Structure 1
Amino acid sequence: MAKITAAEVNKLRQTTGAGMMDCKNALVEAEGDFDKAIEILRKKGQKVAAKRADRESSEGAVIAKVNAENTSGVIISLNCETDFVAKNDTFVILANELAELALQYATKEEFLAADFKGNTVADKLTEQTGVIGEKIEIGAYKKLDAAFVGSYIHAGNKIATLVGLSAAVADADVAAKDVAMQAAAMNPVALDESGVDQSIIDKEIEIAKDQLRQEGKPEAMLDNIAKGKLNRFFKDNTLVNQSFIKDSKLSVAEYVKTYDKGLTIVAFERVALEG
């Protein structure tokens, strides 16, 4: 039997993230062959992943990253089954490392196939499922490109947002972060009226008409009053029209114009874990 040293066990642990005993057992089974031990650990992860494939992974960490030029951003959620795992420092570090890598890829599929420390991202997730004993997967994957991109991650890594501005003006980082915090807190359904799905508009008009009928308003008046209520819905639920949370006298669109009169918000992304 090959003699397994503590240094070899530690090297395997550093490479795979598996526990000390799992690494020692894998090296013993592999008779000291390092690459074979990695394969043994990976197969163990695949078995655990198969057993837990139907489990719900509604917990996790949501991470936003922006490139050095502030022209591109990404949000990913690294999902797991329990809040206990989601709050583990090692899990959060892995989520941040994966988000940093995700900046380089346009799609989730490309990202999962990308190299991560010698494995694909997909294989790393399978491996971690074996190590942790919970289903680990990438949930949300959102990209945003703009002249200036800012981000915000809410405490606890449960909500993350990206905001794109039309220009990299002075103090754009402050403006973008404030708007990203707004999006995190107020959960707008769209950037502006044009981005609201027609099915949502139809539903809101119907709800407004039903309320008006219950109030005894004449049928002939319903359309005009319902349109007024719809405008209120747009004000409350579209990002640029919302009252700015730090100064309710301004809309969010008006707030960014305090930095530059031509500055606009061109896009945003928001990901939240509700588990």
Structure 2
Amino acid sequence: MAEITASMVKELREATGLGMMECKKALVETNGDAKAAEELLRIKSGAKASKAASRVTAEGVIGSYLAADGKIGAVAEVNCETDFVAKNDDFMAFAKNVAETVAKNNPADIDALLGMKLANGVGTVEEDRKALVMKLGENLTVRRVERYETSTGRLSTYLHGNKIGVMINYEGGDEALGKDLAMHIAASKPKSVDASGVNPEDIETERRIAIEKAKESGKPEAMLEKIAEGTVQKFLKEVTLLGQVFVKAEDGK
């Protein structure tokens, strides 16, 4: 039997991204043949990924990437089975690399993305996903991605606990302002930038409810429309970015 050295294991780990014991075992099984060991690990990772594929992925993280010039950005949601794995450094790095792959390659859909070379990875997105499934022992899925490219202004991204991701396109101000605006959106969840983007049906619903409440409380008929309009304006301030109180405003305005 061939001698399995630490350097052989290290090289196989770098090539596959898998754990030391798994790489050493594969080298033993293939009598020190590095290429055969890598193929064996790819086969095993695929089999393990197939077995895990039916398990529910209810946890996960958001990964983000922003080009140095602020013109192209992407966010990616990658799911796993447990919160424990969601906090794993390798898992979080995978999500970030998926976002970078999306930004740089602009895939048409998830299937196209899975066949692309993973940014900072070893193989394709799918190959590295399967390898990570084998390493972490959980089903992992790339659920959804968003990419944006702008020719005006610049982009900014913000992640809140790796669970909420925001990407905005803004003009004027510096990078700090862009980050603050993205953070505000993550915290306050506006439906649109201003009133023009709010669904008219939502506005009408608020108006109708306000009128019915006013009637129930015995308000005069002549006051109903004024009351309804006041309610609608309050609603619009609460659900639009430009109407909300900025989360970092010291005076609350």
Q: SS at 1:128's partner residue?
A: helix
In structure 1, the residue matched to 2:163 is 158
User: Residues of 2 paired with 1:210 and 1:36: CA distance?
Assistant: 74
Using the aligned pairs only, state the percent identity.
37
Q: Which amino acid aligns with 1:17?
A: G
How many Å separate the matches in 2 of 1:210 and 1:5?
79
Q: Deviations over 1:77-105 (max 9, x none)?
A: 22211121121222223333332332213
After TM superposition, give the deviation of residue 121 of structure 1 in Å: 0.5
The answer on whether the counterparts of 1:152 and 1:180 sit within 8 Å (CA) in structure 2 is: yes
Compared CA separation, residues 24 and 236, structure 1 to 2 (3 A): same
Corresponding position of 1:193: 195
TM-score (norm 2): 0.83
Cross-structure match for 1:16:
16
Q: With structure 1 as the length reference, what TM-score do the two structures score?
A: 0.77
Matched, 1:88 2:88: yes
The CA distance in 2 between the partners of 1:38 and 1:216, in whole Å, is 78
Aligned partner of 2:86: which letter?
A: A
- Per mean C-alpha deviation after superposition, the further-off stretch among 211-220 and 34-43 is 211-220
In structure 1, C-alpha distance between the alignment counterparts of 2:54 and 2:205, rounded to whole Å: 34
Query: Could you say which structure has the larger radius of gyration?
Result: 2
Aligned to 1:76: 76
Distance 1:51 1:222 in 2: 62
Question: 1 or 2 for the larger relative contact order (CA 8 Å, sep ≥6)?
Answer: 1
Q: Deviations over 1:175-199 (max 9, x none)?
A: 2111111011111122333333455
Q: Which has the higher strand share?
A: 1
- Contact map agreement 1:148 1:172 (CA 8 A) in 2: no
DSSP 3-state at the match of 2:65: strand
Q: CA deviation at 1:223?
A: 5.7
The aligned length equals 247
* Partner of residue 140, structure 1: 144
Amino acid at match of 1:7: S
Relative to structure 1, is the Cα distance of residues 203 and 36 closer, same or farther in structure 2, using a 3 angstrom cutoff? farther
Q: 1:191 to 1:23 in 2, by over 3 A?
A: same
189-198 vs 200-209, greater mean Cα deviation? 200-209
Residues 229/14 of structure 1: CA separation in 2 closer, same or farther (3 Å cut): same
Structure 2 unaligned residues grouped into runs of 5+: none
Matches within 5 A, 1:201-240: 201-217=203-219, 225-240=227-242
Contact 1:235 1:241 (8 Å CA) reproduced: yes
Taking only aligned residues, the RMSD between alpha carbons, in angstroms, comes to: 2.7
State the alpha-carbon separation in 1 of the partners of residues 191 and 185 from structure 2.
10
Q: 1:24-74 CA deviation, whole Å, 9 max, x = no partner?
A: 222233343333323322332333333332333232221222111111211
Determine the C-alpha separation between the residues in 2 that align with 1:220 and 1:29.
Answer: 87
Q: CA deviation at 1:163?
A: 1.4
CA contact (8 A) 2:74 2:147 kept: yes
Match for residue 244 of structure 2?
Answer: 242
In the alignment, which residue of structure 1 is the partner of 2:134?
130
1:184 to 174, 183, 186: 186
Q: 1:142 to 1:250 in 2, by over 3 A?
A: farther
